[in-house]
Amino acid sequence: MSGVPGGGENPRPVGVLEDEAAVEERLPGPGARRITWRKLVFMPAVLAFVLLVTWLWYEGTDLDSVSRNSLAGGNMWIRLREHIWLTAVSTFFVLIIAIPLGILLSRPRFRRVQPVAMAVANVGQASPSIGILALLVIWVGVGMKAAVVGMTIYALLPVLANTIAGLRTIDPTLIEAARGIGMSQRGVLRKVELPLAVPLILAGVRTALVLNVGTATLAFFVGGGGLGDLITSGITNHRMPVLILGSVLTVTLALFVDWLASLAELLLRPQGLEVSR
């Protein structure tokens, strides 16, 4: 079978394409990139040191009755677990909504709807997160459900925008080559387009994760729990130990999640992207 001629500023000759497996060998597939020891160890070590110093300071602080009541019954660990749960669940819903929607909007048939969908997502991102949560209380009531829905709406834009951008920046000659050997539209999407769009999609997911960690601190105001309980209690009662504990745990969690996401980017990012040039 004869190859499909390339296009663009620097066309790449496709040559003779024998079967689908030959194309897959030339396309980037998921594989682990080298992760240095510094990348693997440095950030966890810094965060562990910060937590250790904070804990030693906390243990040496003479707490009054108000501070002890704020942290009684393992409240700190309960709020930390709630914060992690809120972040994980909201991010899960962001992924199952934003990525399929981004794929759908990148198809020629639905590109007319793309500006409308992006405008709606931009409204959710531009609106104050506390305002979204407050409005959702009227709709779904007080509790974790309102917090999860609000956090999901707030973090949709980065993943949706990056999914669309990643699929739109793919070299058309690769798609033409895949279609030229008889691959279906679904096969092209699964074996060509999505692997090439992975870097941008992962960058959006990383942004959404960090956003959700920060937004989860506001879940307390709608009865959703989280570390916002400690932060708010420390501010309203003027208790610095409680405020510092809540703030340090929130910042540490955000940095830890960002570090995990950066490792995922290195592990899942396809190798050999230069073949599309």
Q: What is the pLDDT of residues 241-257, one digit of tens each?
A: 899 999 999 999 999 99
In a domain, 48, yes or no: no
The whole-number average pLDDT for the span 94-115 is: 89
**Position 1 confidence tier, pLDDT thresholds 50, 70, 90:** very low
Q: Which two tokens stand for residue 187?
A: 């096969």
* pLDDT at position 73: 82
* pLDDT at position 4: 41
Q: Is residue 97's pLDDT more than 80?
A: yes
Q: Is residue 30's pLDDT more than 50?
A: no
d(CA 46, CA 94): 29
Q: What is the pLDDT of residues 183-193, one digit of tens each?
A: 888 888 888 88
Q: What is the pLDDT of residues 67-81, one digit of tens each?
A: 888 888 888 899 999
In a domain, 38, yes or no: no
Q: Which residue has the tokens 């230069």?
A: 274
Q: What is the pLDDT of residues 136-179, one digit of tens each?
A: 888 888 889 999 999 999 899 899 999 998 888 888 888 888 88
In a domain, 16, yes or no: no
In a domain, 193, yes or no: yes
In a domain, 31, yes or no: no
In a domain, 174, yes or no: yes
Residue range(s) defining the domain that contains residue 214: 79-271
Q: What average pLDDT does the chain have?
A: 82
Indicate the number of domains in the chain: 1
Alpha helix ranges (H) inside the chain? 20-26, 37-59, 65-71, 75-106, 114-126, 129-140, 144-168, 172-180, 185-188, 194-215, 228-236, 240-268
In a domain, 39, yes or no: no
Q: Is residue 43's pLDDT more than 80?
A: yes
**Position 15 confidence tier, pLDDT thresholds 50, 70, 90:** very low
Determine what percent of the chain is predicted with pLDDT higher than 70.
85
In a domain, 172, yes or no: yes
CATH of the domain at 108: 1.10.3720.10
* pLDDT at position 271: 65
What's the whole-model pTM score?
A: 0.79
d(CA 238, CA 112): 53
